[in-house]
Structure 1
Amino acid sequence: MATFSKSSFNSLGYALFRPSYPSLLFETIYKYHASCPEAHWSRAVDLGCGTGQATLELAKKFDHVVGIDSSVGMIQTANENTGGDTLTSSLRIGGRNIEYKAGSAEAFPFIGNDSVDLITAAQAAHWFKYEDFWAETSRSLRKGGSVALWCYSEFRLKGHPSSTPLISAYASDRSQPVGKYFEQPGRGILENHLQAIRFPTSPEWDASSAKRIYFIGNHYPTSTSVPLHGGPKGLISLDNEKDEAREVILNKRVSWDGLTHYLHTWSALHAYWNEHPEDKGRSDGDIVTRFVGSLRDILKQDLGMIPAEVELEWPLALIMLKKAS
């Protein structure tokens, strides 16, 4: 996460080349939120908002949305994407109000007590300090308000499972040049689909509302015999009768250049280059170019040719909880 906060990080590239969250994800969250008779649609807070991708979607449903991020660069890009030009500005989108502020997921005192209907975090929840996070969300949420946190993990090439071992080695093997530079424990929590995040048990929360949905298709096995907060990487546990495994919903069709640009947004790559700047000058291309070349070789073996575009898909985990009414 520290990489994203550096002034040298290209937040505009992050906004352009990361996947967009599908409408079905938000529909799932809104249906969950609406299940409480006391649900309101006045105010949402998007924590770790980055460049505002999820924040803008929330503004289609809520009257007032606040995006909060610790990275000044991300906040600046979010404002530029929505017509603002300052670190903290108020914007009108479709008759609704969007505001971006610098802050953390564990402390946002500028948000009043019992004033928020929905709190979200997209691709950020694996970094939170949860004792403080749950206390702050409980303070700011109205009774019956909802929390929805989601993350996507390692991508794959749809229809080409033979490429998955290579992708896993590049992205997740901590003995490999890029995989070893992902920050821990956050990366491990993401790779294990947020299963390490424990729901609070204090009385201000509705424990019966806790729900986990895994949009994973057939990419990962499921099990009811492994404890929910343990087990090997990639194994999804469905211990709670409300937990579900569903089809993949996060997809993006890209050119090979688009895939290269996406890989350039990885924090681990920037950390690797900080220690190995010579990699950028290699005659056979930098580490991303070499990796993409290997993927192209696999598809040529599979298809007898190299397609102009490939479809990426990401397993996505969503966890949700309500404040007691």
Structure 2
Amino acid sequence: MAQFAKSTFSHASYAAFRPSYPPSLYQIIMKYHQGPKSLCVDLGSGHGVVAREFASFFDRVIGTDPSSGMIQQARSLTSADEYPNVTYEQASAENMPFLTHQGVDTVVSGQAAHWFDPEEFFPEMKRVVRKGGTLAFWCYKDHVFVDYPRATRILDRYCYGEEERMLGPYWQQPGRNKVQNKLRDLRPPEDEWTDIQRIEYEPSIKGPKSGEGTMFLSKRMTLGVCMNYIRTWSAFGGWQEKFPQLRKREDGGSGDVIDEMFDEMVQSEPDWATCSDWKSKEVDIEWGSGLVLARKN
């Protein structure tokens, strides 16, 4: 997660433009969970959106993140009056000495588990989670413009093209491949965890809700907001370090890779090209996702 500590990364933009999760996701997790609800730990808590949601289900919630900037952002967004049972600790998922042996009922992680080192992560989970306690971690991969196949193909090319000017070379691996594979590579040891379940969704370019599986993440947003969302990606932060002289047009620059990508998208999609202010045009997008659930033996 070193990207979040770099000077090019904006913690405020991350909090503002990243998608939130629907009630249905939390309901599935809580239906799966059994037994006490004393303590939930949210790993890779980021700006704290997941920790705050679980505050209504558990007596206490601790959000952890290795990034001091993320912890500061989470604390600033979490009112002590509204969330008196939520606290944050700067820590990695693999080492949480402030947690007691088998003292945690549920460990959750949204869009962070691909950063974890399984060789150290699962032993720490074995130590801190009580018998019968649960794990729930999920991820979402690149979004799809469900009504615009040409724009979606251009997005994919810019995301994973290996040319230096595109985003492909700047993804941190193997984390990004784990996200693209919907966390199938992150396997809870079957001698320690049981009732392992995976819930996935793969969107389609044939319109809203035309994909396969259980959809958790969709949103209608303007193209301008979508541009800012893509600028929160870790790969874009790496690209910025490589090309610091190329600033986005909104800041008075000649244009960055996101400006270039959307120029090509607008030219490819007649609905966008004929819009007098295409950045204000609203589009439906969906994310492919994977949710992993496991119960401690």
- Calculate the TM-score normalised by the size of structure 2: 0.89
Q: Percent identity?
A: 36
Q: Give the 5 Å matches for 1:27-176.
A: 27-34=27-34, 39-83=35-79, 91-93=80-82, 96-175=84-163
Q: Does 1:263 pair with 2:251?
A: no
Q: Does 1:309 pair with 2:297?
A: no
Between 1:161-170 and 1:188-197, the stretch displaced more is 161-170
State the Cα deviation string for residues 29-51 of structure 1 (Å, max 9, x = none): 111113xxxx2111100001011
Q: 2:213 & 2:121 partners in 1: Cα distance?
A: 28
Instruction: Give the corresponding residue for 1:242.
Output: none
Q: 2:182 & 2:60 partners in 1: Cα distance?
A: 30
**Aligned letter for 1:184?**
Q
**Aligned letter for 2:125?**
T
Q: Give the 5 Å matches for 1:199-278.
A: 199-202=188-191, 204-206=192-194, 209-218=195-204, 246-278=213-245
Is 1:253–1:312's contact at 8 Å kept on the other side of the alignment?
A: yes
Instruction: Give the corresponding residue for 1:297.
Output: 267
Instruction: Give the corresponding residue for 2:172.
Output: 183
Q: 2:47 & 2:74 partners in 1: Cα distance?
A: 4
**Aligned letter for 1:205?**
W
State the Cα deviation string for residues 183-219 of structure 1 (Å, max 9, x = none): 11101111111111122133x322xx01111022447
Q: 1:256 to 1:186 in 2, by over 3 A?
A: same
Is 1:217–1:247's contact at 8 Å kept on the other side of the alignment?
A: no
Between 1:103-112 and 1:176-185, the stretch displaced more is 176-185
Q: 2:248 & 2:40 partners in 1: Cα distance?
A: 45
Q: 1:255 & 1:115 partners in 2: Cα distance?
A: 44
Q: Secondary structure at the match of 1:105?
A: coil
Q: 1:27 to 1:174 in 2, by over 3 A?
A: farther
Q: 1:161 to 1:66 in 2, by over 3 A?
A: same
Instruction: Give the corresponding residue for 1:234.
Output: none
- Calculate the TM-score normalised by the size of structure 1: 0.82
RMSD: 2.2
Instruction: Give the corresponding residue for 2:208.
Output: none
Q: 1:280 & 1:170 partners in 2: Cα distance?
A: 17
Q: Secondary structure at the match of 2:106?
A: strand
State the Cα deviation string for residues 6-44 of structure 1 (Å, max 9, x = none): 35521111000000111111111111113xxxx211110
Is 2:266–2:273's contact at 8 Å kept on the other side of the alignment?
A: no
Q: 1:261 to 1:142 in 2, by over 3 A?
A: same
Is 1:5–1:70's contact at 8 Å kept on the other side of the alignment?
A: no
Q: 2:105 & 2:15 partners in 1: Cα distance?
A: 26
Q: How many angstroms does 1:297 deviate by?
A: 2.6
Q: How many angstroms does 1:133 deviate by?
A: 0.8
Q: Which runs of 5+ in 2 are unaligned?
A: 206-211
Q: How many angstroms does 1:174 deviate by?
A: 3.3
Q: How many angstroms does 1:278 deviate by?
A: 2.2
State the Cα deviation string for residues 85-115 of structure 1 (Å, max 9, x = none): xxxxxx3535x50010000010101011111
Is 1:150–1:317's contact at 8 Å kept on the other side of the alignment?
A: yes
Instruction: Give the corresponding residue for 1:237.
Output: none
**Aligned letter for 1:211?**
Q
Is 2:248–2:259's contact at 8 Å kept on the other side of the alignment?
A: no
Q: 2:160 & 2:126 partners in 1: Cα distance?
A: 34
Q: 1:12 & 1:195 partners in 2: Cα distance?
A: 30
